């Protein structure tokens, strides 16, 4: 979906009285799964211009019902972090059978009021733990490291790796684990544990730039912005100070999106070089002894099935990139890498994530490969929507 621009927002504001006078009572959304595969937890996005016929300027008052009349959980999202933090799209989720078409009714009503049990995602800046940023959904959890960790005398770490927190059940665990502290979550508990050592590697989908036949990476992030925080989607941005790339200084901003029901995060990264050199982005997965790895050229995904540390089962990790910008595979001492072509705007997007067999959702290497292959198909063929007013 395209973002609503500030100009569009201003136009909508000016036209609001006219829209109210001619507002539709309901919008009918037709959603089509054009793939012959079942697709669960598919997120449907409706932009402010698409919702404008309802005549409601506050997207937190938008409601969605399925064809049986059941109201669905939906979330208003601010995608552009404007001065007013005003939402500019509404999202909701549905499962689709192979080739299925669904109809949804969208109306305006009372402001949405969520209960704690509605939330399937969460994320926040964690100042009390040396400036971590941690995020999760009902299936997976991550953290990455802030500036304060670089100078912590106990165990300093300079790294922009994406760490893994392994979950056993859908409960949101970030606050509990930080409250209990390292000694608690570094050992397996009833909700899972932190038994993945990302360290200075790329971890699960961290990025860098490839130059002079080596990987150059940023240090820890220095600023964060939370744009959306549930109940369906967590969305935030991280800023990284300029880092050296073979003699060129490059800053970076990373936008990360995680939706409920997904094993994969969506990463959108913009590199900001001090001049205009050719950049070769690299996406990495940490090397693990005993890993089974496979690159699938049909969808440009890199899939690994690997042993967990401390004999805690098996884990799948993966990256999916856009076939249009894939360049080649590479590696260094610590990471398996996918190199990408330099886009004109120095921005890239990709998907990365993981699954733990003991969580019970994906328990074999073949099941993980199948999940990634079908996810990649879904990226190339999103649910197709059309909207009519009444």
Per-residue pLDDT in tens (0 to 9) along the chain, 390 residues:
333 344 444 544 544 454 444 678 999 999 999 999 999 999 999 999 999 999 999 999 999 999 999 999 999 999 998 877 899 999 999 999 999 999 999 999 999 999 999 999 999 999 999 999 999 999 999 999 999 999 999 899 999 999 999 999 999 999 999 999 887 888 888 899 898 999 999 999 999 999 999 999 999 999 999 999 999 999 999 999 999 999 999 999 999 999 999 999 999 999 999 988 889 999 999 999 999 999 999 999 999 999 998 889 999 999 999 999 999 999 999 999 999 998 889 999 999 999 999 999 999 999 999 999 999 999 999 999 999 987
Quickly list H helices, 28-117.
48-51
| In a domain? residue 373 | no
Name the CA dihedral angle for 299, 366, 138, 166, rounded to a multiple of 10 degrees.
Answer: -110
What's the CA gap between 266 and 208, in Å, rounded?
16
Here the CATH number for the domain that contains residue 226 is 2.70.98
Q: Tell me how crowded residue 212 is: count the other CB atoms within 10 A of its CB.
A: 8
**Residue 167 is assigned to a structural domain of this protein:** yes
Domain residue limits at 101:
6-113+381-389
- Say if residue 102 is in the same domain as residue 209: no
Reference 296, options 380, 356, 212; nearest CA is 380
Nearest-angstrom CA–CA distance, 54 and 33: 26
User: Whole-angstrom Cα distance, residue 248 to residue 88?
Assistant: 37
Q: Are 271 and 248 in contact (CB under 8 A)?
A: no
Residues 72 and 163 in one domain: no
**Within-domain flag for 369:** no
The CATH number of residue 77's host domain is 2.60.40.1180
pTM: 0.92
Q: Using the 8-state DSSP alphabet, how is residue 360 labeled?
A: S
Query: Is 268 inside a domain boundary?
Result: yes
User: Would you call 252 exposed, middle or buried from its count of C-beta atoms within 10 A (0-12, 13-18, 19+)?
Assistant: buried
107 and 126 co-located in one domain: no
Instruction: Extract the tokens encoding 136.
Output: 């999760």
Say what the pLDDT of residue 12 is. 45
Is-contact 263 248, C-beta < 8 A?
Answer: no
| pLDDT at residue 189, as a whole number | 87
Look up tokens 């990302």; give the residue: 198
Name the 3-class secondary structure at 93: strand
- pLDDT of 22: 63
Count CA within 13 A, CB hemisphere, residue 138: 16
Tell me, yes or no, whether 61 and 140 share the same domain. Answer: no
- As a whole number of angstroms, the distance between CA 78 and CA 59 comes to 10
Assess whether 236 and 137 both reside in one domain. Answer: yes
Torsion of CA 81, 85, 87, 92, to 10 degrees: 70
Q: What pLDDT does 181 receive?
A: 87
Statement to judge: residues 333 and 221 lie in one domain: yes
Contact 345, 269 (CB under 8 A): no
**Count: domains in the chain:** 2
Same domain? For 42 and 86 the reply is: yes
d(CA 171, CA 327): 39
214-216 sheet: strands from edge to edge: 214-216, 204-211, 281-286, 335-340, 326-331
Q: Residues 108, 136: one domain? A: no
For residue 10, is it within any domain?
yes
């Amino acid at each position: 979906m395209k973002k609503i621009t500030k100009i569009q927002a201003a136009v909508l504001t000016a036209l609001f009285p006219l829209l109210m006078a001619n507002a539709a009572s309901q919008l009918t959304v037709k959603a089509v799964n054009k793939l012959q595969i079942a697709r669960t937890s598919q997120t449907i996005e409706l932009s402010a211009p698409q919702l404008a016929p309802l005549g409601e300027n506050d997207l937190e008052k938008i409601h969605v019902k399925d064809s049986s009349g059941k109201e669905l959980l939906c979330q208003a999202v601010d995608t552009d972090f404007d001065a007013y933090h005003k939402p500019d799209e509404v999202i909701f989720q549905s499962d689709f059978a192979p080739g299925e078409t669904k109809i949804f009714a969208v109306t305006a009503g009372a402001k949405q009021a969520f209960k704690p049990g509605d939330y399937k995602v969460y994320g926040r800046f964690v100042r009390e733990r040396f400036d971590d940023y941690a995020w999760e959904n009902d299936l997976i959890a991550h953290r990455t490291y802030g500036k304060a960790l670089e100078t912590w005398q106990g165990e300093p770490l300079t790294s922009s790796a994406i760490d893994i927190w392994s979950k056993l059940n859908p409960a949101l665990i970030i606050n509990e684990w930080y409250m209990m502290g390292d000694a608690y979550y570094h050992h397996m508990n009833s909700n899972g544990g932190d038994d993945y050592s990302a360290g200075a590697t790329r971890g699960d989908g961290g990025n860098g730039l490839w130059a002079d036949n080596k990987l150059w990476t940023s240090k820890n992030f220095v600023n964060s912005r939370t744009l959306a925080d549930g109940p369906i989607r967590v969305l935030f941005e991280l800023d990284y100070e300029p880092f050296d790339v073979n003699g060129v200084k490059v800053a970076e901003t990373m936008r990360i999106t995680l939706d409920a029901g997904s094993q994969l995060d969506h990463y959108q990264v913009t590199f900001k070089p001090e001049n205009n050199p050719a950049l070769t982005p690299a996406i990495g997965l940490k090397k693990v002894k005993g890993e089974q790895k496979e690159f699938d050229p049909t969808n440009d995904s890199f899939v690994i099935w690997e042993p967990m540390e401390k004999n805690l089962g098996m884990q799948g990790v993966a990256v999916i990139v856009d076939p249009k910008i894939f360049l080649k595979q590479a590696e260094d001492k610590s990471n398996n890498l996918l190199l990408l072509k330099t886009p004109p705007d120095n921005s890239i997007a990709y998907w990365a994530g993981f699954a733990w067999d003991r969580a019970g959702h994906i328990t074999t290497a073949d099941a993980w490969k199948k999940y990634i292959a079908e996810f990649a198909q879904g990226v190339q063929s999103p649910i197709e929507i059309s909207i009519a007013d009444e």
